Amino acid sequence: MNKSSEVLAPAGSVEQLVAAVNNGCDSVYLGLDSFNARMKAPNFNQDNLAEWLDYCHLFDVKVYVALNTSLKNDEFERAAQLLKVAYASNADGVIVTDLALMKLAAKLPKPFEVAASTQLNVHDAMGAEFVKQCGATTVVCARECSLQQIRDVASTGVKVECFVHGATCVCQSGQCLFSSTVGGNSGNRGLCAQPCRKKYSVDGGKFAYLLSARDLLGLDVARKLREAGAEVFKIEGRNRRAEYAGATSRIYRKLFDNDFEYQPQDKTALAETYNRDMSELSYLNGDNSDIISPLCQNHSGVAVGQVCGKAVKTNVHINKNDGFKIFCNGTEVCGGIATASGTGLVAAEFGKEARDGMEVRRTSDVALSDEILSARRLLNAELYFRAEPNNPVVARAKCGSVEVEISDFTAPLAQNTPTSPSEAELQLRKSGNSHFRITDVKAEVGNVFLAKSQLNSVRRRLLDELKVAIVQNYNKRFAARNADINELLRLDKPAPRKCIPTVAIRCYDESELKRACELSDTVIYKPAVLDERQFCIAHGCGAYLDLPSFADARYLRERLAKYPASVVCHNVGHVQLARQMNLPYIAGSGLNIFNDRMAQTFDDAATFVYSLELTVGEIARFADRSGLIFADGKITLMKLVHCPYKLQAQLCGDRRDCVDCANIRPLRYRDELGNEFVVQRRKDLRCTFELINGNKLSAAARLKRPDRYLVDYDEAVARHYLALNGGVDDGYTEQKPFTKGRLFDKVN
């Protein structure tokens, strides 16, 4: 078994956990009833966590507890308490997003793994070094990483964890505000409403799923990931069925054990348990052109035949109660279910929209589900039994290096027919519903009589004690956890920092930059194309250059060495780069600074931007009032790694590539309710894109006191906030359509 490749399975419920363990996973990740990124899953709680940790440890399966959401100030102590619960319950590690919680977890005696969540957008060596210094032992690479970026992360010496299967996000990891802005349910807090999975039109064209990313199918890329340095292979899907966790665990464990070889039926099984137009995802090789599935945004199954009257015409075996979806030209039409079993023409019921010749795709396979859910992971055990007249019965059980013995009653002399060794062995081999497979029994029985019930009782108690002993043996590694950790987890009161009113202005072109510098000492320059000239301009005028969150660190370093501009950093890798180059920096909105302790992580920054998911009231309760409130301007909802221009061309039947592309025009996306969004390109070494809310943010009608404000360049807006900080309300009101974002309405 290639145990250097760890298969990490989702466990969003007890049923998922059991299916994953029984089908061969090496580890699971699960969430509790607070602060995990899949709050819609059934999850676990403080009352049952230890029980299921023991269950996993019985089979040498690791458990990582996800505490991977953004934490508000009034939530941090509760999150720290859950960290303590996970540690005391013998979890093997935690997955965290909040950097202050990461530092806290890193204080706990080892072994205890601390994984930096994919939400931290670590995609290069700089980011890996940053979280390593914060105490991370493992980095969960951003899902949009290329193989070279994964190699760079691995070069820092951290354990590398990569997603190998399941849903992917169209937005760069940790950079999404779409769900929270438009509906108040934050993906960064585990409640994503998935507005990206809805239909959109572009520039008035046909509606399609323009933001719905394909699922990752890793059978053909697992070897490449391993060669790049990945050690842990993560399966996404805590909100999916137990069959999914079981099937993916089984197939990927087999993949590694068989030197990356797999059978066609393995791919079919994965597709039938859940398949959102699965793809290898070419961005692993640096090409992001194929990650969108415009025709289908949910489980599409596997093609098995066509509609033929009230039957499926098929050459594969269908089981009664198999579930179907009916498609026409790639678009889902309705559902169906098999009412019989067989091949050829198999009776079925369909939705009324079904027509002869339409494609039938199987989305649930009863036989496959039964196979996955009935699987049992058993431990090999050897038993020894000795019974002599008027002497204590001795029974021993051994599993690997763990051995237990019981001897608590005396065997009576046989009055009639004694129990034979073979009779004793027969009863002792019956492992029943235990977690063991009895591989060998040695029974030494003298002239005694033992009832079957006595032998069964001995076997049950022996295996129960063996189970306990195996778990205890696993947990010996956690001996240091018996120490008092309260002092290690003691939370100091955040240090206060005063609010010195200011107005920072963000501008997008050179003409805005010139005028903004006349109004404010803190100016941010965010050009669409970040070439060498823009570095020179920012350096020359003393503006902070806004760095695209996925910009290549080598590209940035070369230009910043020549033109050492101040910078705005939206991920931890760019903060690390700024620190190494001794550049003044602003901790930008992409870092999603949610609490005082998180802000303290960037105490060397010139300033920081409070999370756009916080209300003005929540910001006012910060001890650190030196940050910036984004009060007016464009709201970036998502940062994209695929090319919407290329997607649009493909939908029109044009397969042109990116060579010599100079397209800079914004694209206008519209949802089916008429809401408009703008897609704007940003280019450095590569192209990325931002999905911007159609209506700007404006809080002028509600903000009436001096504070530290960040606004996009608009002279009237800038002068209004400057006047406000001078104690004068000039009565400015926004005339264009606008949104107040989340400044006055809390996110969930």
* CA separation for the pair 387, 407 (Å, rounded): 10
Q: What is the pLDDT of residues 593-633, one digit of tens each?
A: 999 999 999 999 999 999 999 999 999 999 999 999 999 99
Q: What is the pLDDT of residues 304-339, one digit of tens each?
A: 999 999 999 999 999 999 999 999 998 999 999 999
User: Where do the H-state alpha helices sit in 184-306?
Assistant: 222-228, 242-257, 264-273
Alpha-carbon torsion 201, 207, 209, 210, what sign? negative
Are the C-beta atoms of 37 and 66 separated by less than 8 Å? yes
- Written as one letter, the residue type at 242 is A
- Written as one letter, the residue type at 744 is F
Provide the pLDDT for residue 282: 67
Provide the pLDDT for residue 1: 38
Is the model's pLDDT at 185 over the cut of 60?
yes
Q: What is the pLDDT of residues 681-717, one digit of tens each?
A: 999 988 899 999 999 999 999 999 999 999 999 999 9
How does DSSP classify residue 602?
T
Is the model's pLDDT at 198 over the cut of 80?
yes
Are the C-beta atoms of 381 and 396 separated by less than 8 Å? no
**Average of pLDDT values for 139-149?**
94
Provide the pLDDT for residue 258: 96
Comparing 71-75, 147-151, 641-645, the range with the smallest average pLDDT is 641-645
| SS3 at position 503 | strand
Provide the pLDDT for residue 546: 98
Provide the pLDDT for residue 660: 65
Q: What is the dihedral of CA 554, 555, 556, 557, to 10 degrees?
A: 50
Provide the pLDDT for residue 649: 76
pLDDT band at 482 (very low <50, low <70, confident <90, very high): confident
Enter the tokens of residue 377. 């992971």
Provide the pLDDT for residue 356: 97
Provide the pLDDT for residue 204: 87
- A 10 A CB-CB count for 331 gives 10
The residues near 625 (Cβ < 8 Å, ≥ 6 apart) are 496, 497, 498, 499, 708
Is the model's pLDDT at 591 over the cut of 60?
yes
Are the C-beta atoms of 698 and 634 separated by less than 8 Å? no
Provide the pLDDT for residue 276: 92
End-to-end Cα spacing for the chain:
44
> Residue 475: enclosing H or E segment and its boundaries?
helix 452-475
- Pairing assessment for the beta strands 311-318 and 436-445 based on DSSP bridges: unpaired
What is the overall mean pLDDT for the chain?
94
Are the C-beta atoms of 440 and 399 separated by less than 8 Å? no
Q: What is the pLDDT of residues 9-64, one digit of tens each?
A: 999 999 999 999 999 999 999 999 999 999 999 999 999 999 999 999 999 999 99
Place of tokens 């090496």: 26
pLDDT band at 296 (very low <50, low <70, confident <90, very high): confident
* CA separation for the pair 270, 219 (Å, rounded): 10
The residues near 372 (Cβ < 8 Å, ≥ 6 apart) are 19, 23, 242, 243, 246, 247, 250, 273
DSSP secondary structure of 135-174: T-SEEE--TT--HHHHHHHHTTTPEEEEEEEE---SBPTT
- Written as one letter, the residue type at 484 is D
| SS3 at position 560 | helix
Provide the pLDDT for residue 290: 83
Are the C-beta atoms of 336 and 313 separated by less than 8 Å? no
The residues near 482 (Cβ < 8 Å, ≥ 6 apart) are none
Q: What is the pLDDT of residues 205-238, one digit of tens each?
A: 999 999 999 999 999 999 999 999 999 999 999 9
User: What 3 state SS string does 679-705 have?
Assistant: EEEEECCCEEEEEEECCEEECCCCCCC
Are the C-beta atoms of 352 and 368 separated by less than 8 Å? no
**543 phi and psi, to 5 degrees?**
-85, 155
**Average of pLDDT values for 735-747?**
95
